[in-house]
Every structure is written in structure tokens, then in C-alpha cells.
Structure 1
Amino acid sequence: METPPELARGRYDLVSATIRAILEQIQAVWHTLSAESIEEALQGEAGAAIAAAALSGQFSVADAASAYIAAQMAAQGASALSDAAVIASAFAGIAPGGGRLESLLYLPAIGVRRRVAAGLPPEEAMIGGLVDMSMYTATAIADAARSADQVAMATTRSCVAYVRVVQLPACSRCIVLAGQIYPHSEGFLRHPRCDCQTLPLAEKDWPDVPTPEELFAQLDKEQQQRVFTVDGARAIRAGADIGQVVNARRGMDTVHIYGRRLQVTHEGATRRSVYGRSRSRAGDEMRQFAGSRFGQATSRRYYRSARSPRLMPEEIFRLADGNRDDELRLLRRNGYIT
């Protein structure tokens, strides 16, 4: 049987491979577009194809979360039984921070227009737009995987904590958190392009995950300076604490509801979305934002209108304050488990 760190590496490889495959699909569509008509294209068929590809990637990585958590628990000699089933589609169509995925994926069109207005040749502006689109898509898929993992941890009572697994190359903000152990319900610190993963634990002690100091030592001097700056790397080599050199922050969007600051989402692909509206104007109600997943048309569950905000998983964990029964109740009420 594989050891848990190897399982974590397998989860990382699966998410990374999914992201690469989706980005290849998106790049193929992007190369057919032009700077002159980019906004119209991303509101039409090309935009719908890009968004559907990203959505299918989110669904795929979320769908594998329960099996990953169960395998980890079994490998650690703990019960792999779950109190509920994770609904993979609940993590599809949501952008990091709780916004709508298709709205996020429209932003590269604005970036292209701004680059052209600033004087860049259309070809260079489109390259920059593709970089933006790739970053947004990769981050959204990785975020869906981490959120689904954490929800699956909540449904598996034998899982009491998780440790952050950092794969090099990585930024200083991630390296400083490497090997840190958190309660299963504590939010995962991340940033755009972050590809760190969770390693769920049945016990609150795990010695085999690289520490920040070990990861720093694996970098050569030039890499250390690039990640931590010249002065920061010099300070760490001189014995300074990495945690004092790097101040990692999580920047999450919040909204005010009933006088409280909450992290919420209105669901991703809906009739009211950018692409949903454009397809509706074309009289194509049944196929709004429709795409294919594993050769089959996506379900109408992605078209439902969001009448009220839906709590993000991390907000649910914060509100439940460590009470597993409350976590499951709120996760079920907000459509993440069944």
C-alpha cells in the first residue's frame, strides 16, 4: 500500500494533469481568436467553450476528492467511512473568492483591450490575454480541488487535521507554510497560481513532509534570491526565521449580509451569467453555457438561477467553529454534500 505522502503526490499529479489538459483545450480555442473581436468572441461560442472546459476541469478534480481522502485514511490505518457524499458539481462554475467562473474568464478580454490601447501590437496583447486566461483557469481548478478535499475531510470523522504539502518550484508565501498542520476545518491559504495541496491526517503529527527550512535548502542561491529576494535569502542563510522574513497573507473576497462579513458565492454557470445572457439573446435557452464532459452534455444543474448567496466551504467551517455536526449540516444545506 502506498504511504500517505505518495498518495498526496498522486493527488497533486492528478490535479496538475487535469489543469494541463484543460489549458491545452483553451489554448486551441484562443488561437482562433483575434484582438479586434475578443470581447464578442468571449461572449459567444468561443467563450462558452472556454468556460465549459474550465468547468469540466473543476468537476473532474472535485469528483476525485472523496476517493483521495478515503485512501489517505485507510493508508493511515483509520476508518475511511464517510458521513455524506460530496457533490462534485457544487464546486464547478465557482471562481476563487466565490464569484462566477464565467465572469472571471471574461476578464482576459478586458486585458487584451487595455494592452492594445496602451500601444502593444495585437499579437502581443493576445499573448498576454492567454497568460491571464491560463492563470485564472489553473487557479480556479486548483481551488476547486482544495475546497472539495476539505469538504471530504469534514465528512470523514477519522480525519482530524491536514498538513500543507508544497511542491517546488514555489513562492516564498507557500514555502513558509510548508509542513504546517491545521485542523481539518481551517481555511487553506492560497494565492493566484498556487498549486499546494492538502495531506489529510488521522493524527496531529506527521514527520515526513518537508519543512520550510528543508525546502529553502533545496534551492540554489539564485533560486533563493528569486523567491525570497536577495536580502531576504541572505537573512535566512544567516539564521533568520523564515516566518519572520515572509509574511504570508490570504486575500479572500467578502460581502456584507445582514450586518455580517461572509464569504459567499452565487453559483457559477447560470442563466444570469455573461455567457448565459449572450446565449439567451440568441434564443438558445436549452443550450446556455452547454458543454460536454466525458462525451456527454453537461446537466441543466449548471443553469439554475441563484436566488440567494451560497456560503463558501471555508465560511461554513469558520461559522461551525470546529463542530463537525454543524459543518455537515451547513455543507448539506448549501449543496456541497448529500
Structure 2
Amino acid sequence: MATPPELGRDRYEQVTATIRAIIEQIQAVWRTLSAESIEDDLMGEAGATIAAAAISGQASVADAAAAYIAAQMVAQGASPIADAALLVQAFTGAAPGGGPLESLLFLPAIGVRRRIAAGMPPEEAMIGGLVDMTMYTSTAIADAARTADQVAMATNRSCVAYVRVVQLPACRNCIVLSGQMYTRSEGFLRHPNCDCQTLPLAEHEWPDVPTPQQLFDRLDKEQQQRVFTVAGARAIRAGADIGQVVNARRGMDTAQFYGRTLQVTHEGATRRSVYGRSRDRAGDRFDRFAGQRYGQATSMRYFRSTQTPRLMPEEIFRIADDRDEELRLLRRYGYIT
């Protein structure tokens, strides 16, 4: 039987392979675009094709989350049985910060236009735009995988914690967190292009994950200086604690709701969504709003709950008192069934 680290590598490879496949599709579309018409292209059929590819990638990695968590529990001698099933569509169509994915994927057009305005040749500006598109898409898919994994952890009572696993090459903020253990409901710190992953635990011990110092030692001197800066790498080699040298990134975008700072999303909050239908039955007020397509307003044909914003999974894990409360909120906000 595969061991937990091997299963973790399989999951990492599945996510990265999905990202590579989607990026190849997007690159093929991007090659047909021009700097002169990039805004129109991304608001038209080409943009829709790119968005559909990214959403299919999110769906693919989210769909595999429950099986991954169950396999990890079996490998650790725990029960694989979950209390609820994930709703795959709940993890698609949203950007990492909770906004519409289509709006995020329009930003490369703005980047292309800004590069040209700064004097860059159109061909180089388009290369920069493709780099942006690759970063946004990769992050959205990887984030969907991590979020689905964490929701799947919440549905399995055998899972008590997770550990962060860092794959090299990585930035200093991720390296310093390698091997850190968290309760299964603690949020996962990430940044654009982050490909770190979670390994779920049935027990509170994990001997096989490299520590920050071990990862640092695997880098050559030039890599150490590039990741940690010359002075930082020198301090670490001299014996300084990596955690004292690096300030790990903190937090994500938040919004105010009833006097509290919560992380919310408007994605999946319309009357036709799983969450929206539940709020409609509960008597929430729904107001019309204009749809968004790549940052541009469309018709006022949508209705969105204005009384109860949809919480992100990370926020649910933060505020819930116990696993039963997590499951209740995950059902309420349309992530599991």
C-alpha cells in the first residue's frame, strides 16, 4: 500500500499535471491573439475558451480531493468514511481572493496595454501577458485543489491535522513554513504561483517532511541568496533561525460584515446557485445586479442575496467552534451536500 508521503506526491503530480495541461491549452489560444485587439479578444470567444479551460482544471482537481483524503486515511490506518460529499462546482469559477475568475483572467489584457504604454514592443508585451495569464490560472487551479482538500478533511472525522509540504524551487516564505503542522481547520497561507500542498494526518506526528533548514541546505549558495537575499542567506548559514530571518506572509483579502472582518465571496450566491437557492428558501432579500464578464458589466438579469454574504471555506474553518459546526456551515454555504 502506498504511504502517506507517496500519496502526497501523487496528489501533487496530479495537480501539477492538470495545471500543465490547462496552460498548454491557454498558450495555444494566446498564440492566436494580438496586442492590438487583446481587450476585445479576452472579452470574446478567446477569453471564454481560456476561462472554460481554467474552470475545467479547477473541477478536475477538486473532484479528486475526496478520494485523496480517503486514501490518506486508509494508509494511516484510519477510517476513510466521510460525513458528506463535496460539491465540485462550488470550487470552480472563483478566483483565489473570492472574486469572479473571468474578471481575474481579463487582467493580462490590462497588463499588455500598460507594458505597451510604457514603451515595450507589442511582441514582448504579449509575452508578459501570457506570463500573467499563466500565473493567474495556475494559482486558481492550485488554490481550488487546496481548498477542496481542506473541505474534504473537514468531512472526514479521522483527519485531525495537516502538515505543509513544500516543493523546491520555492520562495522563502514557503520554505520557512515547511513541515509545520496545523489543525485541519487552520487556513492555508499561500501566494500567487504557490504550489505547496497539504498532507492530512490521522495522528499528531509526521517524521518524513523536510524542515525549513533541510530545504535551505538542499539549495546551492546562489539559490540560497536568490531566495533569502545575500544577507539573509549569510545569516542562516551562520546559524540564524530561518523563522527569524523570514517574515511569512499573513492573511488574505477580507470584507466587513455586521461589524466583523470576514472573508467572503459573491461567487455562487445567485438565486440559481446551490447556496443561493438555500438562502431564497430562508427568506433572504435578493437584489438585481449586473453580471460581469472580464470586468465589464452585462445585463441586470441576475439576483444575488444581499443579506447573507457567502463565506469562503477558510473563513468557515476560522469561526466554527467544532467539526459539527464546520459541516453545518459548509452545507449552508453550498460546499458539501
Length-normalised TM-score, structure 1: 0.90
Q: Mark the CA change 1:278 to 1:332 in structure 2 (over 3 Å): closer, same or farther.
A: same
Summarize deviations over 1:148-198 as a string: whole Å, max 9, x none.
000000000000000001111111000000000000000001001100000
Q: For 1:226 and 1:277, how far apart are their aligned partners in 2?
A: 39
Q: For 2:136 and 2:268, how far apart are their aligned partners in 1?
A: 14
Residue type of the alignment partner of 1:178: S
Cα displacement (A) at 1:307: 2.9
Cα displacement (A) at 1:272: 1.1
Q: For 1:96 and 1:267, how far apart are their aligned partners in 2?
A: 11
Q: For 1:202 and 1:14, how far apart are their aligned partners in 2?
A: 22
Q: For 2:305 and 2:44, how far apart are their aligned partners in 1?
A: 25
1:315 matched to 2:334? The reply is: no
Cα displacement (A) at 1:13: 0.3
Residue type of the alignment partner of 2:248: A
Once the two structures are superposed, the pairs formed by residues 85-104 of structure 1 within 5 Å of their partners are 85-104=85-104
Equivalence for 1:126: 126
1:244 matched to 2:231? The reply is: no
Cα displacement (A) at 1:257: 1.6
Q: Mark the CA change 1:268 to 1:49 in structure 2 (over 3 Å): closer, same or farther.
A: farther
Equivalence for 1:69: 69
Equivalence for 1:272: 291
Q: For 2:93 and 2:268, how far apart are their aligned partners in 1?
A: 4
Summarize deviations over 1:294-323 as a string: whole Å, max 9, x none.
xxxxxxxxxx854343110000001104x0
Once the two structures are superposed, the pairs formed by residues 134-153 of structure 1 within 5 Å of their partners are 134-153=134-153
Q: For 1:234 and 1:261, how far apart are their aligned partners in 2?
A: 39
Q: For 1:104 and 1:268, how far apart are their aligned partners in 2?
A: 16
Equivalence for 2:334: 335
Equivalence for 2:46: 46
Q: For 2:123 and 2:24, how far apart are their aligned partners in 1?
A: 19
Q: For 1:73 and 1:12, how far apart are their aligned partners in 2?
A: 17
SS at match of 1:204: coil
Cα displacement (A) at 1:276: 9.8
Equivalence for 1:193: 193
Q: For 1:89 and 1:11, how far apart are their aligned partners in 2?
A: 20
CA contact (8 A) 2:100 2:267 kept: yes
CA contact (8 A) 1:98 1:312 kept: yes
Q: For 1:122 and 1:242, how far apart are their aligned partners in 2?
A: 42
CA contact (8 A) 1:44 1:279 kept: no
SS at match of 1:253: coil
SS at match of 2:253: coil
* Unaligned ranges ≥5, structure 1: 286-303
SS at match of 1:84: coil
CA contact (8 A) 1:317 1:327 kept: yes
Q: Mark the CA change 1:143 to 1:59 in structure 2 (over 3 Å): closer, same or farther.
A: same
CA contact (8 A) 1:102 1:269 kept: no
Cα displacement (A) at 1:273: 2.1
CA contact (8 A) 1:85 1:337 kept: yes
1:255 matched to 2:274? The reply is: no
Once the two structures are superposed, the pairs formed by residues 278-297 of structure 1 within 5 Å of their partners are none
Q: For 1:278 and 1:312, how far apart are their aligned partners in 2?
A: 24
SS at match of 1:109: helix
Cα displacement (A) at 1:251: 4.0
SS at match of 1:256: strand
CA contact (8 A) 1:22 1:57 kept: yes
Summarize deviations over 1:94-122 as a string: whole Å, max 9, x none.
10111111110011111111111111111
Q: For 1:171 and 1:179, how far apart are their aligned partners in 2?
A: 15
Q: For 1:251 and 1:17, how far apart are their aligned partners in 2?
A: 28
1:3 matched to 2:22? The reply is: no
Most deviating of 240-249 and 304-313: 304-313
Residue type of the alignment partner of 1:334: Y
CA contact (8 A) 2:62 2:148 kept: yes
Equivalence for 2:277: none
Q: For 2:211 and 2:296, how far apart are their aligned partners in 1?
A: 48
Identical amino acids, percent of aligned pairs: 78
Cα displacement (A) at 1:70: 0.1
Equivalence for 1:181: 181
* Unaligned ranges ≥5, structure 2: 271-289
Cα displacement (A) at 1:249: 1.4
Runs of 4+ aligned residues of structure 1 deviating over 6 Å after TM superposition are 268-271, 276-281
Q: For 2:312 and 2:318, how far apart are their aligned partners in 1?
A: 10
Equivalence for 2:25: 25
Q: For 1:44 and 1:269, how far apart are their aligned partners in 2?
A: 25
Cα displacement (A) at 1:208: 0.7
CA contact (8 A) 2:103 2:295 kept: no
Once the two structures are superposed, the pairs formed by residues 215-234 of structure 1 within 5 Å of their partners are 215-234=215-234
1:324 matched to 2:308? The reply is: no
Q: For 2:236 and 2:113, how far apart are their aligned partners in 1?
A: 42
Equivalence for 1:113: 113
